[in-house]
Amino acid sequence: MGTYVAFHAHPDDEAIATGGTMLMASKAGHRVVLVVATRGECGEVADGVLRAGETLGERREGETETAAAVLGVSRVEFLGYRDSGMDGEPTNDDPASFWQADLEEAAERFAAILREERADVVSMYDHHGGYGHPDHIQVHRVGHRGAELAGTERVYEATMNRDRIKAMRAAMEDASNEITDEPDIDEDSFGSPEELITTTVDVSSVVLKKREAMAAHASQIDDESFFLQMPPEVFAMAFAEEWFIRTDDGAHHGESWIFDGAIEGVAS
């Protein structure tokens, strides 16, 4: 059995992007470690959600622990940087933000965890962080450098299949026309084109547990969110696969799992 370290920018990113893969790895007997760069302090939160004196970062840290338990995660670590906010916001300039972090210093923080865990597999984001968020781009940079420093050889970039998303959105419009909170994304730049994707993991057997992990991040993903407004069958259609670009020397197209060998016998 091996160890998979999933590196993400904010609480809830892990459940959305790699939650199914994390749970399947855990169910197959692998150790799963989640590393989160920030506590998501710049997220939006509705009035009355936070308790008196509670910060959003504190709430989101707790939500991450709850989601991690659903996903079979053995260890959760926060790198200790502040959320940088969306591209172009003044919070990008905060010296404590992840976007402003020294690359080598941040990479060494991450590498220390990889070494301690003797990680066999590590994932971060693609070169533009999926959609251009500064913290996601920094995860790409820090993740790759950290893996290099730690000598972790099996490296994946979590991404979205741009071509599949275009097709799925059309199908979802036919399946359910009552979703009111659909995110505004640029379909021509979101994720990565299918031709670059090396690895497609079928997570349909655990997709409802993935939904449960997403719902654990209730400060950001409440019952009125785009994700949870989807009927279960539409959610399953949208989130039954997770995509990666493998970047190490073993990369080849058509891969279906992040460890050697096929994944078998995993049920929800």
Give the residue ranges of DSSP H helices in 118-241. Answer: 134-150, 162-175, 207-215, 226-229, 232-239
CB 47 within 8 A of CB 56: no
Mean pLDDT of the chain: 91
Q: Given CA atoms 249, 255, 259, 262 in this order, what sign does their dihedral have?
A: negative
Q: How confident is the model at residue 181 (pLDDT cuts 50, 70, 90)?
A: low
Residue-level pLDDT at 166: 66
Which helix (H) or strand (E) segment is 58 a member of?
helix 56-70
**What's the rounded mean pLDDT across residues 68-90?**
97
Q: Is the pLDDT of residue 221 over 80?
A: yes
Residue-level pLDDT at 177: 54
Sequence-separated contacts (24+) of 260-267 with Cβ below 8 Å: 263/24, 263/28, 263/201, 266/24, 266/27, 266/28, 266/205, 266/206, 267/205, 267/206
Q: Is the pLDDT of residue 204 over 70?
A: yes
CB 122 within 8 A of CB 244: no
Specify the residue for token string 């997403």. 214
pLDDT tens digit string along 235-258?
A: 888 899 999 999 999 999 999 999
Residue-level pLDDT at 226: 81
Q: How confident is the model at residue 115 (pLDDT cuts 50, 70, 90)?
A: very high
Quote the CA–CA distance of 166 and 89 in Å, as a whole number: 28
> Across-strand partners of 82?
97
Q: Is the pLDDT of residue 104 over 70?
A: yes
**What's the rounded mean pLDDT across residues 137-165?**
95
**What's the rounded mean pLDDT across residues 62-85?**
98
Q: Is the pLDDT of residue 183 over 80?
A: no
Quote the CA–CA distance of 57 and 55 in Å, as a whole number: 5
Residue-level pLDDT at 165: 72
CB 128 within 8 A of CB 134: no
Least confident window among 137-146, 163-172, 243-252: 163-172
Which helix (H) or strand (E) segment is 78 a member of?
strand 75-81
pLDDT tens digit string along 11-66?
A: 999 999 999 999 999 999 999 999 999 999 999 999 889 999 999 999 999 999 99
Cα dihedral value 259, 129, 254, 241, nearest 10: 80
So what's the architecture of 3-246 in CATH? 3-Layer(aba) Sandwich (3.40)
In the chain, pLDDT over 90 holds for what percent of residues?
A: 74
Helices 162-175, 232-239: inter-axial angle, 10-degree rounding: 170
CB 39 within 8 A of CB 61: yes
Quote the CA–CA distance of 132 and 134 in Å, as a whole number: 6
